[in-house]
Amino acid sequence: MRNYRLGRALAHGAVVSALAVSMLNTSALGQSVDLSQWSPEYVRSIAGTEEYNTAEQCGAVTPLDYEGKLTFWYQGVFEGDPDLLRQYYKEFFEAFRTTYPNIELEEQALTYNDLLDKFRTALLGNAGPMVVRLQILGGVEFASKGYLQELSPEDVGWKTEDFWPGAMKSVMWEGKAYGIPTNNETMALIWNADIFERAGLDPEAPPATWDDVVAYSKQIHDTLGISGYGLVARKNAGNTPYRFMPQLWGYGGGVFDEADPSPTYEEIRLDSDASKQALQASYDMYVRDQSVPVSALTNQQADNQPLFLAGQLAMMISHPSDYNVMLDLQAKATGTDQEKAQTVIDNMRYGLIPTGPDGKRAVVFGGSNIHILNPEYVEGGEVDEAAAKAMVCFWTSPEWSLKMAYAGSNPGNLNGFKTVWMKERLDSIKFLDVTTAMLPYGIPFPTLPETPEIMNIIIPDMLQNVLTGAMTVDEAAADAAQKVRDLTEGGGL
């Protein structure tokens, strides 16, 4: 138990140090991309300025004629992703096999909500894969337990400075790196301008604050009888924290102090007045105004997408890829449904995520990281290090970290922004500017082993307790804070 606390203390220290470093002028640290200049214009100015040869670069890490075997699990595409992404995943594995024809690859795709459960279970039986690509909140949990090997960008031919400082924090445990970011994402607010206009709102102006979201949602519902905002409060689903945490942080709340410049994760703030305000906003929309989908408690974002396309939902938080998802869904529609869908697509607008009452804007700094496992937890008890590094290098290369994030997020390797494919992407993927503009507002989830439970269970539970009337806002906030307290102290049910 003492070791556990010591580990936590060391981790806190490491995180504080990492944050302090990330607060420094990034160009001074030799960042590949000057993050201090970050803006949509800057991103456009660097796109297409560099050329990269993935085979050559990864060949320097693992020879291209290397013979080996690799097992690989990854968080793959799911029902809410566009077909475009499916195509890139297919091309990625074809390219890997062409580049490394003598590596026998066994890959397995799992959805976001299934991957953690399956991976945990496999590890208990020492039956994990050699390499895994996990959601950003998962890495620390497995690194802290000793399942993962130390792995930094330098191990596969890149530099740590090639990656977002915030993303690198998510792979750090006790001062050491245990993975490499593959992609990083920040979402945006999407609205239907036609619905706004019919509801008497300015069609080209998104709600500026979360209070505005509540008011707009009510006005839309009262005027048109449809749902205003696409609230998501399902348990055990990543969609819930990705949509509620920006609201919580915007109001000035948090689980801990993760939204502060130098978080220590020691103070629990779920029951603070600011957190309660955020919770109250959800209550107002769901219970008081009934202006959001009733099915929010069982829905995921994938359930909001058809509602939005059918013109039954006015606002939602999501990726730029939702534009492509709408195009895919429209292609499957028939008759007048197709025309209706086209009207929605024509009226689809993207904007920055609203701020809290004090002007604070925040979004989850999301994404995924790739890790190599320690041999004793792998099926067969061996890890083919060279084959594993080949895969890690390939996915985190400027080319593939960009292509695999083509429609939905952004490349983990910052050099991806300089590639010709980024230039092509800026021209072909609508609303990309908005999501890249949101990146500087990104706040990483707390880098603690307990974070998956906090985000996937405790936060949704808190929301559900309020939205179902099982608890008041005060009670639900206090209950959630107590659960986090119990969890971090190693107790509780």
Partner 1 sequence: MTIHAGHAGAPRKALPPRPSVLRQMWTSRADYLYVLPAIVVMLIVIAYPVYYTIDLSFFKTPPGLQLKDKIFVGVENYTAILSSEVFWKVTLNTIIWTVASTLIAFVLGYAAALALHRDFAGRAVLRAILIIPWVISAVAASYIWKWMYHSDFGIIGQVLVQLGLTDRQPNFIDNVHTVLPSLIVVNIWREFPFAMIMIMAGLQTVPEQLLRAAKVDGASAWQRFWHVTFPHLSGVSTVTILLLAVANFNSFIVPWITTGGGPSNASHIWITHIYELAFGRQRWGVAAAYSVLLFIIVMSLGYFYVRALSGNEKKEEGP
Contact positions vs partner 1 (CB under 8 A): 1, 4, 7-8, 117, 120-121, 124, 141, 144-147, 227, 233-236, 293-298, 307, 312, 449-450, 452-453, 456-457, 460-461, 464-465, 467-470, 487, 490-493
Transcribe 295-336 into DSSP letters: GGGT--HHHHHHHHHTT-EEEEEE-THHHHHHHHHHHH--HH
Residue number, 8 or 133, with CB nearest to partner 1: 8
Residue number, 21 or 457, with CB nearest to partner 1: 457
CA atoms within 13 A on the CB side of 63: 4
Nearest to 304 by CA among 75, 79, 115: 79
Residue number, 172 or 393, with CB nearest to partner 1: 172
Nearest approach in angstroms of CB 438 to partner 1 is: 28
Nearest approach in angstroms of CB 457 to partner 1 is: 6
CA atoms within 13 A on the CB side of 339: 2
Nearest approach in angstroms of CB 464 to partner 1 is: 4
- Report the amino acid identity of residue 153: P
Residue number, 82 or 449, with CB nearest to partner 1: 449
Per DSSP, helices labelled H in 225-268 are 239-250
- Report the amino acid identity of residue 162: D
Which residues are within 8 A (CB) of 63 and not within 5 positions of it... i.e. 6 or more apart? 386
Nearest approach in angstroms of CB 466 to partner 1 is: 9
Nearest approach in angstroms of CB 173 to partner 1 is: 10
Residue number, 1 or 28, with CB nearest to partner 1: 1
Residue number, 293 or 442, with CB nearest to partner 1: 293
Nearest approach in angstroms of CB 237 to partner 1 is: 8
Which residues are within 8 A (CB) of 452 and not within 5 positions of it... i.e. 6 or more apart? 116, 137, 138, 141
Supply the DSSP symbol for 446. Answer: P
Distance, in Å, from the CA atom of 35 to the CA atom of 361, rounded to the nearest integer, reads 18
How many other C-beta atoms lie within 10 A of the C-beta of residue 68?
17
Residue number, 54 or 298, with CB nearest to partner 1: 298
CA atoms within 13 A on the CB side of 257: 12
- Report the amino acid identity of residue 11: A
Nearest approach in angstroms of CB 30 to partner 1 is: 33
Distance, in Å, from the CA atom of 349 to the CA atom of 203, rounded to the nearest integer, reads 9
Nearest approach in angstroms of CB 234 to partner 1 is: 7
What are the distances in angstroms from CA 316 to CA 153, 292, 308, 319, 352? 35, 10, 8, 10, 12
How many other C-beta atoms lie within 10 A of the C-beta of residue 240?
27
Residue number, 15 or 362, with CB nearest to partner 1: 15
Residue number, 127 or 294, with CB nearest to partner 1: 294
Per DSSP, helices labelled H in 377-449 are 385-395, 398-403, 420-428, 432-438
Nearest approach in angstroms of CB 376 to partner 1 is: 11
Residue number, 359 or 491, with CB nearest to partner 1: 491
- Token pair for 408: 């939905």
Find the distance separating the first CA and the last CA of the chain, reported in whole Å. Answer: 18
The answer to whether the CB of 323 falls within 8 A of the CB of 348 is yes
Residue number, 58 or 309, with CB nearest to partner 1: 309
The answer to whether the CB of 31 falls within 8 A of the CB of 161 is yes
Nearest approach in angstroms of CB 448 to partner 1 is: 8
What are the distances in angstroms from CA 405 to CA 49, 56, 127, 181, 270? 19, 22, 29, 12, 32
Distance, in Å, from the CA atom of 93 to the CA atom of 96, rounded to the nearest integer, reads 5
Nearest approach in angstroms of CB 83 to partner 1 is: 22
Nearest approach in angstroms of CB 481 to partner 1 is: 16
Residue number, 160 or 295, with CB nearest to partner 1: 295
β-bridge mates for residue 373, sequence order = 148
